[in-house]
Structure 1
Amino acid sequence: MRVRGNDYRVLDPPEWFTPELRVSVIVPAFGGQDKLDLVLAALARQSYPAELTEVIVVDNGSTPPLRLPATRPPGARLIRCETPGRASARNAGLAEAGGDVIHWLDSDVVLTPGALEAHMRWHHTAPYLVVGGFMRFSEAPLPAELPDDLESYFEPAEPHRWIIDLLARTDGLTQRTPRPFSLHVGGATSVNARLFELAGPMDDELILGQDTEMGYRLGQAGAVFVPEPRARAYHLGPTMRMRHKERIDRVSFAFVGDRIPLYRWLRSHPGRQWKIPYVEAVVDGTAGYESVRATVDALLAGTQHDLRVVIVGPWDGLERDRRAPLKDPNLDLVLVHGHFEHESRVRFAGTDEVGLAVPYVLRLPPGWAPGEDSLASLLDLARTEQHGLINVLLDESSAGVVAARLERPAAFARARLVAGPREDLDDVVDDVSSVTWVDGETYGFTREPAKPLGRRGAYNARVQAEADVERLTGENERLRAQVAKWREEAGTWRKDAVDYRRDIGALRKEVSELRRQLAAAHRAQDSLRTVMTATVRRALGRRTGR
């Protein structure tokens, strides 16, 4: 069963399973013998088979040195690491571990009896999991011996509030979370050992924030992060972060921003460069000076400044012919190398392989230039939709398809972990993440790049475009209102016209009636005139004797 994104629910581990995997519990410690005694006593009570469990306590320079108490798991051993720092102590334990699973455990965290088994239940379903337990922080006084009933003794206790909130927002890390690696906290977390082989050990150069940075690299190596509520533990007292959160964040954020590109809020500066870039663009440096220069210059002129360009070619041993440079068979390579040699955001490499720590990789054919906002727009799409691969169609002809690729290395790392021997890796990426195609012209890719505006010019252009959109939106609303007004007036006019027609009809009827009456009056007048004429004639006739 393949996990898509971080939706680990498809694994559905059985309630009962046959334990087969060996687990190495690594406990770094500096002082605190009384707490360590309780931690080891709790490990001795675990339901997971003792013959499959090794416990390595790493004394990180304690004075007096730590010792193993009488009540401890069988075969527990103590080693010493003089290099200060919890990361160094964990790495020392990691180097000694032989288990299939590594379980970090702080020296002040007491596991409930079934906690280790709850972790291992998940690890038997897939070889690429990071499982986080649920810690509660107890203020109860330290007992002389570990109580039989941990809950009755250590409760009431406070939950790991920020993890509870994170799980609530993301439906248990299965949805709407671009940073599930935040689950990796060293207090009580287990990791498949194979992931450490891919991601590497903990960063001992960090002062604080090592757990989160390690979690990020585990995610880049393909990990799925699983919260397990039944893996319960009690932290003996509050953590340093709980006591001094603002001070801890101040120190941590000063360093982790260089190493965790997904913490975008720590990289708000528009021109800074960082140890791990947000995106690496890979360009074939052997395709000719003009083509390579056009592509790389366009990438460097883009609005996505958190970028490093990798130019691939046979750079080792490349020499310049200083006597007859124009006849140098490697002249184009010499020109490419010389043109970008001192550009801090360009590095030269012999292969197109990039490190796992980079969140995104753009592979772009030479001669094709992105627009100034092209890469930023593609990254927005990849981040919003959580795509593992975006293919950008640049050209299509009888000769074939020319495309760029925006890859998410974490998705490809997961695909490599689960792919069969003959499976196409892109198809597996589509299973564990998603793959899509977009049109290059729509995203501003071209063979004839426009003159770069520069970051400020591109920003101003975007601001102007947004202002134009806002202005046109307002104008559209104004016109809509005007049209509505005209429609209302037209309705009034139509109503008036109907009334006018009705009035005109009535007037016409009145005029017709008046004409009829006038005609009748004329007829009556004519009849009266005729009668009067006849009467006058008769009267005259009598007078004249006619």
Structure 2
Amino acid sequence: MTRVRGNDYRVLDVPDLGTWTPRMSVSVIVPAYGGQDKLDLVLEALRSQSYPAHLVEVVVVDNGSVPPLRVPSWVKLVVCESPGRAAARNAGLAVASGEVIHWLDSDVVLTPRAIEAHMRWHHQAPYLVVTGYIRFTSAPVPARLPDDLESAFEPAEPHAWIVELVERTDGLTANPSRPFSLHVGGATSVNAALVAAAGPMDEELVLGQDTEMGYRLAQAGAVFVPEPQARAYHLGPTMRMRDKAPIDRVSHATVADRVPAYRWLRSHPGRQWKVPLVEAVVHADEGGYEDVRATVDALLAGTVPDVSVTLVGPWEGLERDRRAPLRDPALDLVLLQGHYAHEGRVRLAATDETDPAVPYVLRLPAGWTPAEDSLARLLDLAKEEGQGLVNVLLSESGGQVVTARLERTAAFARARVVLEPGEELDDAVDAVFGVRWVEGETHGFARQPRVPLGRRGAYRARSEAQAEAAKLRAEVERLRGQVDRWREESGKWRRSTVELRREVGTLRRQLAAAGRVQQGLRAALTASVKRALKRKV
């Protein structure tokens, strides 16, 4: 199986349209609420696809239309009484049998080779999300599907933000931070196994379901592919085009809780989120109460507040010895359970399985404590270099190596898909994302407890730093004033020097003139004396 590194899908050998033999089936799921005239055109366009009809299953989900929608006999009709696109798509997904799921809105008309353009990618790898290019037309809705869609629906507007995203990231190949934004339900196809791994659409969300599901697909190992030859026309503007600001207001309020990648929506320094940025895993039976507590407390006190800790241990069967608690062989576990029972960011679990929606997992041995900024530095390294695994060498002695690991969930999910028999999982991660080793000491990891600074201490430290900064600013202003005075004084001296030079020049000229006069007098006197002496003689 061809392995895509990061999101650089260019390594896949995709055939030209019309030059290959399809074999995979696709289910096109069309949720609809009213709009029979537009739906009729959408279904006509699906019937006219170049992709083999026996490999195409069309599922229309009537989401409570009055009157009920009508569909041809070759279309599978599902009625979903629960309102909302997410519920309708999930109803269609439940009956879909295709190897690929193709989401399609009921007002999006595909060009004849659109599905073929999608499916040629899915034949190359089982972990792809392919999005077509939609253009938005304001042309009147025709009674029948035109033979020439371009002539009927142009001029039309492009899906501007998707075009800009693709162009800005070299087709999403240049290690983009959020390629899952490409997952839009209007005309996107996903491998069915990938959908099964990520789960159905979140029906609790009011808006933003496409983005949230795209994020979970990315977490499941997806590669996102923009396909310009899978063209389609949207009949009229979208709701987002009409009401972008209020839609963002609603979607951001709930999507932020589920998508840690939107860091700007998580500006609050202390609150918890449904899906944290990092889940740290610590085994409670690897050390005593003091060691485990030191590790957990250091994690919770770091500069990355968006973190949860999974404390692994035999909590279910833990029984307290109430008669002789100090001699209880499980006393340390009892203390840990009691200490963190009501800490919202600590979860007591029997296994080290983590939430697949969490983007990063830190596995840290008990007794090792990160400095306040250690986790943030590891995250920066993983993000900037696109690494799937950052190994931290904590100690090496007598042939024993102790490490911590920062794992990118998406990298490990894709590595499991492409893993060959007998291959180490970390090697597959290295192939699809990359693996990096760093020294624990240089990144602030130590084998001793740290005293957490705490909110009050952090506030005091910040206040002291601000006071010191204000003091330094005042000193800078004082020095600037002194420098200005020195400049003014030096200007005065400079002017005085110029005047003195002028006076010295004048005096020199006067002295030279006096010298010349003196020489003339001497010459005249000498001549007079010579004449007088001659007369006497």
> Distance in 2 between the 1:420 and 1:280 partners?
28
Aligned to 1:507: none
Q: Secondary structure at the match of 1:356?
A: coil
> Distance in 2 between the 1:462 and 1:122 partners?
53
Q: Secondary structure at the match of 1:259?
A: coil
- Deviation at residue 382 of structure 1 after TM alignment: 1.2
- Deviation at residue 454 of structure 1 after TM alignment: 2.5
- Deviation at residue 450 of structure 1 after TM alignment: 3.1
- Deviation at residue 176 of structure 1 after TM alignment: 3.9
Pair 363,459 (structure 1): closer, same or farther in 2 beyond 3 Å: farther
Pair 381,460 (structure 1): closer, same or farther in 2 beyond 3 Å: farther
Aligned to 1:11: 12
Aligned to 1:61: 64
CA offsets per residue over residues 233-285 of structure 1, 9 Å max, x none? Answer: 00000000000000000000000000000000000000110000000000001
Aligned to 1:256: 255
- Deviation at residue 449 of structure 1 after TM alignment: 3.1
> Distance in 1 between the 2:458 and 2:282 partners?
23
Aligned to 1:343: 343
Cα contact 2:419–2:428 (8 A) shared by 1: yes
Aligned to 1:328: 328
Cα contact 1:393–1:404 (8 A) shared by 2: yes
Flag the structure with larger Rg. 1
Mean Cα displacement is larger for which, 205-214 or 370-379? Answer: 370-379
Structure 1 unmatched ranges of 5 or more: 476-546
Aligned to 1:308: 308
Identical aligned pairs, as a percentage? Answer: 72
Aligned to 1:357: 357
Pair 312,4 (structure 1): closer, same or farther in 2 beyond 3 Å: same
Aligned to 2:366: 366
Aligned to 1:531: none
1:24-39 to 2 correspondence within 5 Å? 24-39=27-42
Mean Cα displacement is larger for which, 37-46 or 297-306? Answer: 297-306
CA offsets per residue over residues 300-351 of structure 1, 9 Å max, x none? Answer: 1111110100000111132211122122221111111111111110001111
Structure 2 counterpart of 1:386, one-letter code? G
Structure 1 counterpart of 2:7, one-letter code? N
- Deviation at residue 455 of structure 1 after TM alignment: 5.2
Mean Cα displacement is larger for which, 14-23 or 388-397? Answer: 14-23
CA offsets per residue over residues 454-488 of structure 1, 9 Å max, x none? Answer: 357558869999999xx9xxx9xxxxxxxxxxxxx
Q: Secondary structure at the match of 1:202?
A: coil
Pair 459,156 (structure 1): closer, same or farther in 2 beyond 3 Å: farther
CA offsets per residue over residues 386-436 of structure 1, 9 Å max, x none? Answer: 111000110001141101000001000010010102111111111100110
> Distance in 1 between the 2:316 and 2:93 partners?
36
Pair 460,4 (structure 1): closer, same or farther in 2 beyond 3 Å: farther
Runs of 4+ with >3 A deviation: 455-468
1:30-179 to 2 correspondence within 5 Å? 30-69=33-72, 75-179=74-178
Mean Cα displacement is larger for which, 197-206 or 458-467? Answer: 458-467
Structure 1 counterpart of 2:220, one-letter code? A
> Distance in 2 between the 1:463 and 1:250 partners?
34
> Distance in 2 between the 1:64 and 1:366 partners?
63
User: What is the RMSD computed on CA atoms of the aligned residues?
Assistant: 1.9
Q: Secondary structure at the match of 2:371?
A: coil
Cα contact 1:302–1:455 (8 A) shared by 2: no
CA offsets per residue over residues 33-85 of structure 1, 9 Å max, x none? Answer: 0110000000000000000000000000111111115xxxx731111000111
1:453-472 to 2 correspondence within 5 Å? 453-454=453-454, 457=457
Cα contact 1:58–1:78 (8 A) shared by 2: yes
> Distance in 1 between the 2:217 and 2:181 partners?
11
Cα contact 1:370–1:449 (8 A) shared by 2: no
Structure 1 counterpart of 2:246, one-letter code? R
Pair 437,460 (structure 1): closer, same or farther in 2 beyond 3 Å: farther
1:437-452 to 2 correspondence within 5 Å? 437-452=437-452
> Distance in 1 between the 2:74 and 2:461 partners?
68
Pair 174,302 (structure 1): closer, same or farther in 2 beyond 3 Å: same
Pair 136,331 (structure 1): closer, same or farther in 2 beyond 3 Å: same
1:270-289 to 2 correspondence within 5 Å? 270-287=269-286, 288-289=288-289
- Deviation at residue 355 of structure 1 after TM alignment: 1.5
> Distance in 2 between the 1:11 and 1:460 partners?
56
Cα contact 2:175–2:386 (8 A) shared by 1: no
Cα contact 2:367–2:449 (8 A) shared by 1: no
CA offsets per residue over residues 172-227 of structure 1, 9 Å max, x none? Answer: 00004111000000000000000011110000000000000000000000000000
CA offsets per residue over residues 149-193 of structure 1, 9 Å max, x none? Answer: 000000000000000100111000000411100000000000000
Cα contact 2:298–2:450 (8 A) shared by 1: no
Aligned to 1:22: 25
Structure 1 counterpart of 2:358, one-letter code? V
Structure 1 counterpart of 2:36, one-letter code? Q
Pair 423,118 (structure 1): closer, same or farther in 2 beyond 3 Å: same
Aligned to 2:511: none
Structure 2 unmatched ranges of 5 or more: 477-537
TM-score for the superposition, normalised by structure 1: 0.83
Aligned to 2:405: 405
> Distance in 2 between the 1:284 and 1:331 partners?
16
Structure 1 counterpart of 2:40, one-letter code? D
Cα contact 1:371–1:449 (8 A) shared by 2: no
> Distance in 1 between the 2:23 and 2:458 partners?
58
